[in-house]
Structure 1
């Protein structure tokens, strides 16, 4: 099998295993070489974060702003609300369960790459602007473009998005397994990898249970509107769920999601509008996964995790990850800036976050697209067929 055809998850898993094995035997000079690569890659990743936000968010805001009507407003509010609630549910679940699953006195400070394994040299790549600045700029350009019908600017934004996506696909994604390999080799050298992997397994089980719960909750709420059996509705959406597991892309699953949504007796016009839109703005599965992983890593490192900080983080996350590219790990790439600026993640925490997220990427996407059907059912009940022309 050609290397580029191997799924990213398989590459990440292989990198973790090899990192642990080699880390048990490699001399310090080898670890320092790997740490040097990791430091350079981390600098490049930090440089790209504002560009990723501008490249993804600006075209998405422009496309949404170019549409009009109550149907768009209600869909956007419901999608964002569902995403925000999923994030809060993930936070409260993590606060109740993670302290019992994660040892409270893990001395994680020794995991910093610059503490035990020092790179031979470092190349500074400061980002062009702060994360908040890039978000504000994205909104200004995106909204202004939609209001002035700036076709030239919109084309420029779309081309810049393509450049950012190309950079992710050609540089970041291919080198990501090597970066993860370096982190786990480093953790093995400092003697903490066994405890980390044990915690990873527990966290993944909790997040998977959360995915199932949020889908059941969404369809129980939808069933109250449409007077149907929520579990029959969920069963109807299973083809979309399993398609998303395979494609790891909400956009690629749209045809199946749309077909199954119509089978739930949702008006074809409503479904045709809501499903493609929610594929880019409804991120319940991705959000609950990012929040849970971030909370777990903060607990591991003994960092504070106040509710107010996470409300801020979840609120910004629901906006930042809209229209994340249809590539594995797109949402986590778009959220790295928030993890660093709001939650104070360092290089090691960022790498662990990426590894945890990629390990469950398919399930988050499947949760997103399956939930789209529930939102479409609710919106179909609110906007009946005779109201469509007024929207």
Structure 2
């Protein structure tokens, strides 16, 4: 039997899909995870999602659905975590191709359903921004989720919408997300995280990292992103809820507007009109800025000195944890040096590594 899981926003949602499969279905069925190759600028210096033409080594499954095997490679300068996920996880990864808008993704889904005849279809979003209206001031990346939601609502097959880790993406206030959730399906545990534990050692997703950390029992306040957004790590963090798919579409103005779109550019235009921006425009602007920044050598002594200052300031703000992405941004390091930073810190202060987060309180506890 085959389970089809649609990772609503790509990136970390694909890793969370593997956790979902372990938690709900165990080893009895195979999973096909349909996801974007959209890893943002930390991994991929090219703005926007990657298309099939951005890879070598893809395998054509249906007329419009490509599989991403471990042997696939993004064509430079593009980057993608999908081939490595395919190499390290037992699941099959299929590529969401958004170049033909919501109608194109609907067609891909219909072909997959016809080809696989899946036992179940789940649309998974970590955090809950798929439930946004579109005008919320804290919303940062609505387009990917809106496209998958619009497509799923047009497929003639039963699809269950699941939201994991309500509020962990920092896109909507947790109280707002909680008011939109349906019944509790499952509360993730450390056992559910185990199948992706090695993935979390290198994958940069902050929301899925916090989802895993809360499933392992981590509690506190985690600072994320370049802006230092504080996210509460509570008992709600590892929960998985069902939400009515039609209700989500009725609420999501952007998803409704892009139902009949046939190009990604058209979907972007609707995002600018409804949300006031396109997240791909943000990536374009940031990529241009990063390109002009001078490349600096990674100096461990300087990094550790800057880290000490950052940690003291963060603790004064009530922060207990942070992500390595946030640390790299705060210390002015390029994404290419995130792994070097992570390795240095874990070697220097292993007691602060609350996988996959960095614990700012461990040093205080040790010295108390």
TM-score over 0.5 for the alignment? no
What is the TM-score normalised by the length of structure 1? 0.25
Task: Tell me which protein shows more strand as a share of its residues.
Answer: 2
TM-score between the two structures when normalised by the length of structure 2:
0.26
1 or 2, which has the higher helix percentage?
1
Larger radius of gyration: 1
- Between 1 and 2, higher relative CO (CA 8 Å, sep ≥ 6) is seen in 1
